A and B are shown apart, each in its own frame.
Chain A
Amino acid sequence: SSELTQDPAVSVALGQTVRITCQGDSLRSYYASWYQQKPGQAPVLVIYGKNNRPSGIPDRFSGSSSGNTASLTITGAQAEDEADYYCNSRDSSGNHGVFGGGTKLTVL
């Protein structure tokens, strides 16, 4: 299967920890990447590979993977973390990209 499944919406209290998950068969073979997108803006890479953060991404963002599930964890969520989050990986052929449907994170 080339699909990645995400929960449509998740909420978290300010300062608490939230985990956003992404499921798909291709995740057994390929690491996911995670993107944050705020309204009217281009996506921003926040996690890639096993658990790597690009320069400038706060260390409260972390990633993990087990079996067919990849997870993005935000430890101590801030108001500015409210956004849509997308996972991405390759399909089973390894040649095509595929995105999850996205998770809207609300920080209460």
Chain B
Amino acid sequence: EVQLVESGGGLVQPGGSLRLSCAASGFTFSSYWMSWVRQAPGKGLEWVANIKQDGSEKYYVDSVKGRFTISRDNAKNSLYLQMNSLRAEDTAVYYCARDLRSYSSGWYDYWGQGTLVTVSS
């Protein structure tokens, strides 16, 4: 059974940092593009970043570029999101999601349950 389990969320002050993790199981993690998608309270989904199977390609939404870094450790079947210089508008539930295809299709067939990040003083 495919499972994605996020962790690392919490309350952080503006300007602070947080590292999210996503533990994958039930599939060959190293064969898939992976993404982070977030959802602010009461708002819609927003794509944040994605990473190629070997980590050689990474892409970000403009609003987090230079502040967030996506990475992965295929040996540990884990996906990460390092978030620096956090702002109030980064407050959201952060989901990790698996791309359905071996290329970056943007079709996400499995999602984690999400981890809440709250940026507030």
Residues on A lying within 8 angstroms of B by beta carbon are 30, 33, 35, 37, 42-45, 48-49, 54, 84, 86, 88-90, 94-102
Q: Judging by beta carbons under 8 Å apart, are A95 and B44 in contact?
A: no
Taking the nearest CB of chain A, how far is it from the CB of B111, in angstroms? 4
Given contacts A43-B45, A43-B95, A102-B44, contact A95 B104 (CB under 8 A): yes
Q: Judging by beta carbons under 8 Å apart, are A33 and B107 in contact?
A: yes
* Total number of B residues with any Cβ neighbor in A under 8 Å: 23
Contact among B45, B95, B109, B112 with A54 in the assembled complex (CB-CB below 8 Å): B109
Besides A33-B105, A90-B106, 10 new A-B residue pairs in contact (Cβ under 8 A), listed by A number: A35-B108, A37-B45, A42-B112, A49-B107, A88-B107, A94-B104, A96-B59, A96-B60, A97-B50, A99-B37
Q: Is B53 an interface residue (CB 8 A)?
A: no
Q: How far is the CA of A48 from the CA of B100 in the complex (A)?
A: 9
Residues of the B chain whose Cβ atoms lie less than 8 Å from the Cβ of A90? 104, 106
Q: Judging by beta carbons under 8 Å apart, are B47 and A96 in contact?
A: yes
Tally of A-B residue pairs with Cβ under 8 A? 64
- List 17 contacting pairs A-B, 8 Å CB cutoff, sorted by A: A35-B45, A37-B45, A43-B45, A43-B108, A43-B111, A45-B108, A45-B109, A48-B107, A88-B45, A88-B106, A89-B106, A90-B104, A95-B57, A96-B59, A96-B61, A101-B44, A102-B44
Residues of the B chain whose Cβ atoms lie less than 8 Å from the Cβ of A44? 111
Q: Is B35 an interface residue (CB 8 A)?
A: yes
Q: Judging by beta carbons under 8 Å apart, are A99 and B47 in contact?
A: yes
Q: Judging by beta carbons under 8 Å apart, are B44 and A97 in contact?
A: no
Q: Is B46 an interface residue (CB 8 A)?
A: yes
* Residue among A42, A84, A96, A97 facing the most chain B CB atoms (10 A cut-off): A97
Q: How far is the CA of A100 from the CA of B113 in the complex (A)?
A: 21
